[in-house]
Copies of this chain bind each other. A is one copy, B any other.
Amino acid sequence: MVASSFQHHLEPMLTQPIPCQICTYQSHGVNFNVMTCRACAAFFRRSLVCGMRYHCKTRKNDCRIDSTERHFCRLCRFQKCLQMGMKAEKIQQNRDPISSTFPGTSTEPELSEIVDPENEKSYIFHGTLYGFKSLLAEVRYIFSISRNYSDSPLTDLENGFKLITRHQKRRYIDIEDRINFQNLTDFRLGHIKNCATWLTHSSFFQSLTETENLLILKSTWHVWSWLELLSVSVEIFGNQVCEEKIVFLSEKIAVDIVKVFRYILKPLNKQEKRKVEKELNPIFHILFDDVARKLQNLKPSSLEINYMLWQLVWFVAEKVLNEDNLRHGEQYTNQLASDLHNHYKNDLHLEQYAQRVLKMMAIVKSLQKHLMNIHKIIDYADNFCNLFAMK
Contacts and interface: CB of A to CB of B under 8 A. Distances in A.
B123 A376 contact: yes
Interface in A96-122: 96-109, 111-112, 114-115, 117, 122
A294 to B, nearest CB: 19
Contact of A264 (B74, B99, B132, B387): B387
Interface string A346-373: 0000000000000000000000000111
A328 interface: no
B262 A97 contact: yes
B192 A93 contact: no
A341 interface: no
A163 interface: no
Nearest to A188: B389
Interface string A58-86: 00010000000101111100100000000
A385 B96 contact: no
B93 A178 contact: yes
A377 B103 CA distance: 12
B267 A103 contact: no
A47 B100 CA distance: 13
A390 B94 contact: no
Interface stretch (A2-10, A141-149, A236-244, A301-309): A2-10
A280 B97 CA distance: 14
Interface residues of A, number: 135
A381 B389 contact: yes
Given A269-B267, A270-B269, A127 B382 contact: yes
A169 interface: no
A278 interface: yes
A336 to B, nearest CB: 21
Given A277-B98, A316-B115, A218 B124 contact: yes
Contacts of A90: 9
A246 to B, nearest CB: 15
A376 B94 contact: no
A135 B132 contact: yes
A71 B95 contact: yes
A334 interface: no
Contacts of A124: 218-219, 221-222, 375, 378
Contacts of A42: none
A337 interface: no
B280 A109 contact: no
A31 to B, nearest CB: 13
Contacts of A391: 280, 283, 374, 377-378, 380-381
A389 B379 contact: no
A61 B106 CA distance: 9
Given A54-B96, A74-B100, A267 B272 contact: yes
A57 interface: yes
A106 B376 contact: yes
Nearest to A255: B390
Contact of A390 (B2, B104, B187): B187
Given A132-B135, A263-B94, A379 B126 contact: yes
Given A6-B91, A111-B371, A130-B192, 17 more contacts: A1-B52, A55-B106, A71-B95, A94-B265, A101-B278, A102-B278, A125-B218, A129-B135, A129-B385, A181-B383, A187-B390, A188-B390, A249-B390, A264-B388, A264-B390, A267-B384, A384-B388
17 contacts: A1-B53, A1-B54, A3-B49, A3-B88, A6-B88, A6-B92, A53-B104, A56-B106, A74-B100, A106-B376, A115-B219, A115-B316, A126-B378, A126-B379, A126-B382, A128-B382, A374-B391
Closest 5 CB pairs of A and B: A127-B382, A381-B388, A3-B48, A134-B134, A55-B104
